[in-house]
Amino acid sequence: MAHRAELIAVGTEILLGNIANTDAQILSEKLAELGIDVLYHTVVGDNPKRLREALELARTRVDVIITTGGLGPTYDDLTKQTICDTFGRKNVLRPELEQWLRELFAARKRPMAENNLQQAYLPEGCTIFHNHNGTAPGCGFCEGGVHVLMLPGPPRECALMFETGAEPYLRALSHDVIRSHTLRIYGKGESDMEILLRDKIEKMTNPTVAPYAKSDECMLRVTAKAASAEEAEALLKPAVDEVLSVVGEWVYGVDVDNLESVCVAALKERGATLAAAESCTGGLIAKRVTDVPGASAVFLGGVVSYANGVKARVLNVPPALLDEYGAVSEPVASAMAEGARALTGADYALSVTGVAGPDSDERGNPVGLTYIGLASPDGTVCKKCNFGKRTRDHIRMQAANTAFDMLRRTLQ
């Protein structure tokens, strides 16, 4: 039987907008990979009565309830006791957790306040989820056919506890093995993907195909359920191949992290190097490349040439081009890429110049107009983009993504 879940975030600060409900995004993605359908996201303030009402409603409509937050030592950390009251469980001291807490504070050479001891109390008979990034343990138990899991609120703690504690607990609920592969896509949105794949999505039951919108890109998750991992993978391969036959042009990787990691891997495979010349992106390309472990093997450096003088003096962009065409132009973008390649000795060089807003530039170029250059051993190409009148961050992100996509297409 497929399990259905509700996520209940506990914290007034979420309702006030002081923090985002990041845990819901993290857990929804992870639960989808386990084949568990998330039907509801609920946010409740630090109020026992309203939390109990949310729990009572959730137990009538799902068989997996996951709470996040409210497990700390302060007076408003009320999740455990409210859950115990709602599901008729005693909140009992776990001696092993008390010992762990005291040893943890001793190792940190800090006194343990007595209110920290309440973190060693958990519902009677529960499975403990250890916290490797904090002091609040979590747990899971089943009552009346409903599985209740408690996880801490801080995303760093929540994500790791799910991986090490909650995920094994949930996997044990089913004898089936669930496997999935994620296709990362750039250049086509979720609605376009859905239109192209509608017939296949509707016909597939095992494996299933589901589109997901991400920031500035799209994902397709192909999921299969079988008696063993080998059988699940055998089901997945033809399904993934079938999807790739339709949308493969826009798929930049399967089970990969992001565009920049794909580019770094492709450069390493070729034994090639990369440089960057950036104007409106302000170093974003260089930052994202150097975020990838091992990027030092391929990335030689970059120039943030925000001013025309830097474009001319450092990158050797001919002043005549700047005067005639302006900084935001195809000739200048091409010259920037060629200049970065010559300056660093890299095999490939990316360049970006554009109008990030909020106003048009001095030549009247509209916000969002961007030129992206790529210089390589085979010559230089330039792409004109218009990302529309969006925020500066969005335009910069789209420009960097487009630059990486140009590079990966050339390398692959």
pLDDT tens column, 266-282: 999 999 999 999 999 99
- pLDDT value at residue 263: 98
Distance of alpha carbon 119 from alpha carbon 117, whole angstroms: 5
- As a whole number, mean pLDDT of residues 7-19 equals 95
Q: What is the mean pLDDT of the chain?
A: 93
Q: What superfamily does domain 259-411 belong to in CATH?
A: CinA-like (3.90.950.20)
Q: Which residue intervals of the chain bear CATH 3.90.950.20? A: 259-411
Q: What is the pLDDT of residues 34-62, one digit of tens each?
A: 888 899 999 999 999 999 999 999 999 99
* CATH code of the domain made up of 4-171: 3.40.980.10
User: Is the full-model pTM beyond 0.75?
Assistant: yes
Name the more confident of 345 and 219.
345
- pLDDT value at residue 199: 84
H or E stretch covering 349: strand 348-354
Q: What is the radius of gyration, based on Cα positions, of the chain?
A: 26
- pLDDT value at residue 237: 95
DSSP 35: T
Distance of alpha carbon 370 from alpha carbon 400, whole angstroms: 11
Q: Which residue intervals of the chain bear CATH 3.40.980.10? A: 4-171
Distance of alpha carbon 318 from alpha carbon 259, whole angstroms: 32
Indicate whether 369 pLDDT > 90: yes
- pLDDT value at residue 381: 98
Confidence of residue 1 (pLDDT cuts 50, 70, 90): low
Instruction: Output the 3-class SS for 133-158.
Output: CCCCCEEEEEECCEEEEEECCCHHHH
Percent of all residues in the chain with a pLDDT value above 90, rounded to a whole number: 77
Q: What is the pLDDT of residues 301-354, one digit of tens each?
A: 999 999 999 999 999 999 999 999 999 999 999 999 999 999 999 999 999 999
Confidence of residue 198 (pLDDT cuts 50, 70, 90): confident
Indicate whether 83 pLDDT > 60: yes
Confidence of residue 178 (pLDDT cuts 50, 70, 90): confident
DSSP strand E in 227-343: where? 251-254, 274-278, 299-304
Q: Helix (H, G, I), strand (E, B), or coil: what is residue 204?
A: coil
Q: What is the pLDDT of residues 340-367, one digit of tens each?
A: 999 999 999 999 999 998 989 989 999 9
- pLDDT value at residue 204: 85
Distance of alpha carbon 152 from alpha carbon 134, whole angstroms: 9
Class of domain 177-254: alpha beta
- As a whole number, mean pLDDT of residues 117-132 equals 94
Confidence of residue 175 (pLDDT cuts 50, 70, 90): confident
Question: Does residue 326 contact residue 366 with C-beta atoms inside 8 Å?
Answer: no
Angle between helices 229-247 and 190-203 (to 10 degrees): 130
- As a whole number, mean pLDDT of residues 82-99 equals 95
Q: Which residue intervals of the chain bear CATH 3.30.70.2860? A: 177-254
Distance of alpha carbon 354 from alpha carbon 396, whole angstroms: 9
- pLDDT value at residue 275: 98
Indicate whether 72 pLDDT > 60: yes
Please give the structure tokens belonging to residue 14: 């979420």
Q: What is the pLDDT of residues 91-114, one digit of tens each?
A: 999 999 999 999 988 888 888 888
DSSP 94-117: -HHHHHHHHHHHHHTT----GGGG
Q: How many CB atoms lie within 10 A of CB 116?
A: 19
- pLDDT value at residue 395: 95
H or E stretch covering 59: helix 48-61
